[in-house]
Structure 1
Amino acid sequence: MKEPAQEWLAQAVRQVEADPQAIHRLFPQAERRGGPGARAALLGALRGHHTVIRSLYEAGDSGERLAILTVLHELDLEGTAVALVEDALRSNDARLVAAALGPYGSAWLGDHSFRQGVLKCVFMSIPLEAVAELDRRFDAELARMLSDYAAELRAAGRPVPRDVLERI
């Protein structure tokens, strides 16, 4: 016999598969009722319904938005969720900014937005190791931006983060 959390999650996944809009009712309670990973399972059950994912993100609290950003790369969305990543990069929540530069954001963000996101990580003291595929996306312009920022910090008598020094 299944545990109550497993049973709840199995039923919730079936409901979302049958009616993608059901996720709006189930998602907020998913972690509490279905356990860790329940939100990811519900998002997977959407099978790429990017409009539902977008509305879920827009209505979500920080925890719900974080859950969505964390699994974007596992969903069949191609580049349709870039606006969610860009929204997270505008937030002041370090968890959302770091998640925005996970595998999905690093794969789909344009060069300018990616560079600005990396710089925001530095401003927010988010370790650059949190940025997925930074080595692949690192270019001369990003190196210049980080060098300029390091020069500003030095001029102000402030320390330059070690992960920035390692990149410039």
Structure 2
Amino acid sequence: MTQPPPWTRGDIDAALPDDTARAWFDEALADAACAAEAPQAAPSPYLAHTWELRFAAAGRHCGHNNADAVRTLLLVEARAGLETLTRLYQHGSAAERRAVLRALPTLVEGPHAVHLVEDALRSNDTSLVAAAVGPYAAAHLDPHAWRHAVLKCLFTGVPLDAVASLAQRAAGDGELARMLTDYAAERTSAGRDVPHDLGRALTLTGDKPKEL
């Protein structure tokens, strides 16, 4: 079941720095809506749809702090399909990839875009990892992949607050508890600090954390 986008048009309008940025945003949304109403074949490598050009330029026109939200809403407004999402992810910058990942719960029904989440989880870019462990991953990653996603967050320093539905998925997960305990033991034996989030995750599994 798909979910509403994380940001509304009103949220983004309120955050934009000035009327020039708001006008650009309104035009970009209109372009995306036109693409949704009259879908065409995938653009050639030499000529992207206007809304896709705006997708790439969002940071320049709306400010880099707002670009993730703008890009995500453009994808939703264009009703981007899996083929388009995959292409934009594969050819995009890290910022553009984050937007694709954040749009997945709204645009993709079922596990068909899991390959994009798995690719992001192979990255060492913490912003991509954080975007990858959102609601789409919570709904569609299989248990093995999801446990490794939690470990990836601990490895890279991504706060476990980024992991959607952590409490629900971790509850009663004995294998996750074992993995967390083993990881803590490895860190301790190597004289390294244990990530502060690890004890909380272990508690969520139902296992009683030892002194970490």
- The C-alpha deviation readout for 1:24-81, integer Å capped at 9, x for no partner, is 4332013434663321222113325111111111110100001111221122432211
Residue 116 of structure 1: aligned partner: 148
Q: Secondary structure at the match of 1:80?
A: helix
- Aligned partner (choices 9, 14, 28) of residue 56 of structure 2: 28
Bigger mean CA offset, 122-131 vs 68-77: 68-77
CA drift at 1:4: 2.2
In structure 2, the partner of 1:87 is: 119
Give the whole-Å Cα distance in 2 for the aligned partners of 1:86 and 1:132: 15
* Identity fraction in percent: 43
For the pair 1:159 / 2:187, whether they are aligned, the reply is: no
1:114 shift after superposition: 0.6
- Does the CA-based 8 Å contact 1:88-1:96 persist in structure 2? yes
Aligned pair count reads: 168
Q: Distance in 1 between matches of 2:77 and 2:35?
A: 6
Summarize the Cα distance change of 1:46–1:9 in structure 2 as closer, same or farther, 3 Å threshold: closer
2:31 match: 12
Query: C-alpha root-mean-square deviation of aligned residues, in Å?
Result: 2.2
Pairs within 5 Å for 1:4-153: 4-17=23-36, 18-19=38-39, 21=42, 22=49, 23-33=51-61, 36=66, 37-47=69-79, 49-138=81-170, 139-153=173-187
C-alpha distance in structure 2 between counterparts of 1:102 and 1:124, whole Å: 16
> TM-score, normalised to structure 1's length?
0.88
Distance in 1 (alpha carbons) for counterparts of 2:160 and 2:23: 40
Contact 1:43 1:68 in 2 (8 A): yes
Using CA pairs below 8 Å that are at least 6 residues apart, which structure has the higher relative contact order? 2
Q: CA deviation at 1:7?
A: 3.5
